[in-house]
Chain A
Amino acid sequence: MFENLTEKFEKAFKVLKGQGQISEINVAETLKEVRRALLDADVNFKTAKDFTNTVKEKALGRDVLTAVSPGQLMTKICHEELVELMGGNEAQINFQGNPGVILMSGLQGSGKTTFSGKLANYLKNKKGKNPLLVACDVYRPAAIDQLHVLGEQLGVAVFSNKEEKNPVAIAEAAIKHAKSNGHNVVIVDTAGRLAVDEQMMEEIAKVKAAIRPTETLFVVDAMTGQDAVNTAKAFNDRIDFDGVVLTKLDGDTRGGAALSIKAIVDKPIKFVGTGEKMDALDVFYPKRMADRILGMGDVVSLVERAQEQYDEQEARKLQKKIQKNQFDFNDFLAQLQQIKKMGNVKDLMGMIPGMSKAMKGVEIEDDAFKHVEAIIQSMTPLERENPDVINGSRKKRIANGSGRDIQEVNKLIKQFGETKKMMKLMSNKKNMMNMMRQMKGSGMPGF
């Protein structure tokens, strides 16, 4: 549905990949790409601008400590913003009343008549209603016939009057007809009209005033360009609709119109049309749509899971432990297990404070920790907390218990010692500067 926008987003976020922190400079380039992607997706110019500004503010405010990678964090922020922009929770339509009256409005060719049929079908089959379709498009050739054909297909009654040229009169007569014939929902299909056509806009305002609908829907083609906001605004100013229907979403359109309309008129998108069959109607789920736009559900949930497990508090605790040189095999093992659970080892190493720099350039295989785990699990609690007590005989026992060589046990203990030392150094900026200076002084190549 929104695959194209996803691709663009992915490309945009590539710019951020491999950057250490979200800064004003590296975020600017990405946001430019994001904005362009949104514009290419027909998101309104102003909406796109506002969107990227909000994302920027939120991104710069984020504590890097909890970040997986800046790119992934940006994805999550964009996702949150998209959901927010598209209306948080899904909205229902109001068809209560005696009868409930639903009025359709929109431009020519947006799909009002087809959607009227789909809605009648939905109310009849899913909500147990007895709907009446009303043909108020007295202009387009064969529009009334079209509604009759649909009604016949669906087994839904259709009210029309080919002699009457005034939509207000037809709509009023239809409601009387519905009352006396036991129809509890009336769906009024109207002619397509341009927002700039004063006479036609006046007409639909009159229809609305006469029948006082419980729900007025604005039907819009998902492929609409920048003009979507002007049209939506003009219709909203005139008839103050309750919700939006987004049609033809089964195409490959990026559907940016959905974002802009919601942002500009602040009315919820209630339904989406996803095919030519009469049951191709879906309730609009903002979160689902944002997921589709980003197409990065995995990344988003990865970030969420990572944040659950590495909340700031825990990260600070660990940081303190490292600084006090209390980092032990239990912490080491816990880290390894978290990493394994979450999959992508290399990405996740970056979440462990100090680890990303310490591990830089180290190639990690996916099952690289299997043996390491076995060795640590063969240690006693005392040994894990106080690695210094591990002497020769303990090493032998550990090697036997884990089924590894004693050399491997030695190697791990040595590596652990080095990692610990390195982490402590890295966690302290002053130490790091000293280290750099020492390295420089010692005439090491490359410094």
Chain B
Amino acid sequence: MGLFGLFSKDKKQKLDEGLSKTKETFLSKLARTVVGKSKVDADVLDELEEVLISSDVGVATTIKIIDRIEARVAKEKYINADELQTILRDEIASLLEENNTSDAQFELPVHPEGQPHVIMVVGVNGVGKTTTIGKLANQFKQMNKSVILGAADTFRAAAVDQLIIWSERVGVPIIQQGMNADPASVAFDTLQAAKSRGADVAIIDTAGRLHNKVNLMNELGKIKRVMDKVIPGAPHEILLVLDGSTGQNAFEQAKQFSLATDINALAITKLDGTAKGGVVIGISDQMKIPVKYIGVGEGINDLQAFHKKAFVNSLFGE
């Protein structure tokens, strides 16, 4: 089986397309660093550092990658500058492997007594939570699973309407109490509905909140506790959505949200913009929480399960 065992051809194409901008700048910058160089010296490493940092890989991970390449150059002595691309690819791939998280898939774990799988989606404002939920619901629907959405973002103007439109587009039911309702109460209703209707999965939207707002972060805890009362162990998955164009603050977001609630999956959105893939490398390296989904386009099907090798291959155009 090839590298893309579970990775269909059109998905690979979409990933390539989505990342094409990143790849271009990444590769063209990389190519520039080795022009006229016969071997990897301090200058080349300096340039490489710039390439990585300008791709939002982050200072810590960049230093880690540079150190490794430096060590390898020292050991193998005669590394040709042309080989730099291959070496970099290897190092990034192995860095992602070390994270010890397995590649993600769209799948729903089975819970005792056939209880629905519950996903709570959280994140700061404007990262694309609602859109991600719409795409996620679409994926599960296509797997012939019964999905139910909960509109617990009752704060932002018209957030409920936005999710209603998504529920119609995908063709799944939605539980909502309108704007300004108590989000915990919406979550409670959604889970009860999911339970009584025998749904496979319930996805709860929450209002965007900046991670340094203590009261809003505490509210997440309350929503979570209420869900646990309806279905013990719920939510099973707390998905933190990060905007792929966010810089180093993404790490702080992951840290603070993890402290407030048990984040166990990450989704990185908007990777189809310019030069944004780097943040995925930094986050996979620095965070123990696995990157589960990536958003690579605006279409309803443009949410993918994150595969490390496929990602690196796509980044390097292979």
**Bound pair: A and B?**
yes
Interface residues of A (CB under 8 A from B): 36, 39-42, 44-45, 107-111, 113, 117, 140-143, 145-150, 153, 194-196, 221, 223-228, 230-231, 234, 248, 250-254, 256-257, 276
User: Which of B76-84, B137-145, B267-275 touches A?
Assistant: B267-275
B211 touches A252 (CB 8 A): yes
The distance from the CB of B273 to the nearest CB of chain A, in whole angstroms, is 5
Contacts of A45 in B (CB 8 A): 50, 53-54
B273 touches A194 (CB 8 A): yes
Contact of A225 among B56, B162, B211, B272 (CB under 8 A): B56
A149 touches B158 (CB 8 A): yes
What is the bound-complex CA distance between A39 and B57, given in angstroms?
A: 11
What is the bound-complex CA distance between A117 and B159, given in angstroms?
A: 15
The distance from the CB of B24 to the nearest CB of chain A, in whole angstroms, is 10
Taking CB atoms and an 8 Å cut-off, the chain B residues in 225-279 that contact chain A are: 243, 245-250, 252, 270, 272-276, 278-279
Besides the known contacts A225-B246, A234-B274, 11 further A-B residue pairs in the complex with CB atoms under 8 A apart: A42-B247, A109-B127, A109-B128, A111-B126, A141-B166, A147-B157, A196-B273, A227-B275, A251-B210, A253-B252, A254-B248
What is the bound-complex CA distance between A226 and B25, given in angstroms?
A: 13
A251 touches B274 (CB 8 A): no
The distance from the CB of B43 to the nearest CB of chain A, in whole angstroms, is 15
Contacts of B155 in A (CB 8 A): 276
The dominant DSSP class at the B interface is: loop
The distance from the CB of A192 to the nearest CB of chain B, in whole angstroms, is 9
The distance from the CB of B259 to the nearest CB of chain A, in whole angstroms, is 13
B212 touches A39 (CB 8 A): no
Contacts of A150 in B (CB 8 A): 157
Residue of A nearest to B273 (CB): A194
B246 touches A223 (CB 8 A): yes
A257 touches B247 (CB 8 A): yes
**Number of contacts between A and B (CB, 8 Å)?**
140
The distance from the CB of A442 to the nearest CB of chain B, in whole angstroms, is 49
Interface residues of B (CB under 8 A from A): 21, 50, 53-56, 59, 124-128, 155-159, 161-162, 164-166, 169, 179, 210-213, 243, 245-250, 252, 270, 272-276, 278-279
B125 touches A108 (CB 8 A): no
The distance from the CB of B19 to the nearest CB of chain A, in whole angstroms, is 12
Contacts of B54 in A (CB 8 A): 44-45, 226
B21 touches A196 (CB 8 A): yes
A223 touches B165 (CB 8 A): no
A248 touches B126 (CB 8 A): yes
The distance from the CB of A344 to the nearest CB of chain B, in whole angstroms, is 32
Q: A111-B126, A251-B212 are in contact. Are A256 and B275 (CB under 8 A)?
A: no
Contacts of B164 in A (CB 8 A): 142
Q: Which of B164, B213, B243 has the most CB of A within 10 A?
A: B243
Q: A41-B248, A226-B55 are in contact. Are A108 and B157 (CB under 8 A)?
A: no
Q: A145-B161, A226-B275 are in contact. Are A252 and B212 (CB under 8 A)?
A: yes
Contacts of B126 in A (CB 8 A): 108-111, 221, 248
Contacts of A251 in B (CB 8 A): 124, 210-212, 249
Contacts of A195 in B (CB 8 A): 273-274
What is the bound-complex CA distance between A108 and B161, given in angstroms?
A: 18
The distance from the CB of B290 to the nearest CB of chain A, in whole angstroms, is 21
